[in-house]
């Protein structure tokens, strides 16, 4: 279960929009770094790519001004200050911190937190990965729903 922060309006709205359009359904946690982050929302599945193409290409602006910390269970997206323009974020990916990662504060937009299910993050983080941090066995996101 996730709580999305009201103050990070663009990122919150984007995540809800993509969820309601089932863009994350069938994607994977494609980067797993134990004691750091699990990163999800990507896939080479043709249906996922088709959904993305139908939505279109856009980037999210940085929104780090509210002081949210990257504590264990923070959901975030790489979108730092504009001086680092390459950090404008792809709207289709996100990461969840497995442990406190304060060095990410002010550089990446924290837009929510895990409120229930941290043990799932730990289980994903235990997966065997290759040299590029890709899980040896695919870890799928079957479905994400907006509850409230």
Predicted confidence (pLDDT) per residue in 86-138, tens digit: 556 778 899 999 999 999 998 889 999 999 999 999 999 999 999 999 999 99
Instruction: Report the C-alpha gap between 79 and 102 in whole angstroms.
Output: 15
User: What is the rounded CA–CA span in Å between residue 69 and residue 119?
Assistant: 20
- Separation between Cα atoms, residue 95 and residue 135, nearest integer Å: 15
pLDDT at site 147:
87
Averaged pLDDT of the chain: 90
> Where does the chain show beta strands of DSSP type E?
2-4, 27-33, 37-42, 74-77, 94-97, 109-114, 140-141
* CATH code for the domain defined by 2-141: 2.40.100.10
Structure tokens at 148: 């409230």
Domain residue ranges of the chain, discontinuous segments joined by + = 2-141
From the number of C-beta atoms within 10 Å of its C-beta (0-12, 13-18, 19+), residue 6 rates as exposed
């Amino acid at each position: 279960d996730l709580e999305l922060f009201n103050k990070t309006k663009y990122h919150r709205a984007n995540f809800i929009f993509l969820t309601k359009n089932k863009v994350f359904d069938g994607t994977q946690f494609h980067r797993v770094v134990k004691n750091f982050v699990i990163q999800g929302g990507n896939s080479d599945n043709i249906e996922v790519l088709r959904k993305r193409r139908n939505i279109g290409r856009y980037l999210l602006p940085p929104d780090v001004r509210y002081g949210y910390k990257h504590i264990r269970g923070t959901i975030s997206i790489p979108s730092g200050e504009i001086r680092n323009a390459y950090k404008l974020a792809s709207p289709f990916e996100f990461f969840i911190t497995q442990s406190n990662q304060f060095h990410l504060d002010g550089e990446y937009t924290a837009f929510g937190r895990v409120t229930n299910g941290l043990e799932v993050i730990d289980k994903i983080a235990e997966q065997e990965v290759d040299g590029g941090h890709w899980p040896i066995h695919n870890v799928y996101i079957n479905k994400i729903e907006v509850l409230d």
